[in-house]
Amino acid sequence: NAGVTQTPKFRVLKTGQSMTLLCAQDMNHEYMYWYRQDPGMGLRLIHYSVGEGTTAKGEVPDGYNVSRLKKQNFLLGLESAAPSQTSVYFCASSYLADPGEQYFGPGTRLTVT
């Protein structure tokens, strides 16, 4: 049981480039989440999904898109990266609603120059 995994672990982008972060979970969880963590701050929710084929906006959705084509995968896309998107990105999943106990991946450190 790998739990929640994230790919890649590190990435450096130039302003305007695009990329996709992949989150995968093998716990058959319905709910998946993308957060970002900036220095000295807690985690802020970007987007989340309550099931395959669904997505919803969190606190800070601008500049990001997501897709949940398969239950076990949740993709986070940056279409045109900006320096303000330099952050550590965490994916999480949970089984229950309202919300249930969340389990986190190891994070992806993204730098946009």
Partner 1 sequence: GIQVEQSPPDLILQEGANSTLRCNFSDSVNNLQWFHQNPWGQLINLFYIPSGTKQNGRLSATTVATERYSLLYISSSQTTDSGVYFCAGGSYNTDKLIFGTGTRLQVFP
Report the distance separating Cα 107 and Cα 9, nearest Å: 7
Closer of 44 and 70 to partner 1 (Cβ): 44
One of 25, 55, 87, 102 touching partner 1 (CB under 8 A): 102
Residue 107 is which amino acid?
G
* Residue 43 touches partner 1, criterion: CB under 8 A: yes
Report the distance separating Cα 8 and Cα 109, nearest Å: 8
Closer of 1 and 40 to partner 1 (Cβ): 40
Report the distance separating Cα 25 and Cα 39, nearest Å: 26
* Residue 62 touches partner 1, criterion: CB under 8 A: no
* Residue 12 touches partner 1, criterion: CB under 8 A: no
Report the distance separating Cα 61 and Cα 43, nearest Å: 13
Span of 17-25, 48-56, 63-71, 78-86 interacting with partner 1 by CB under 8 A: 48-56
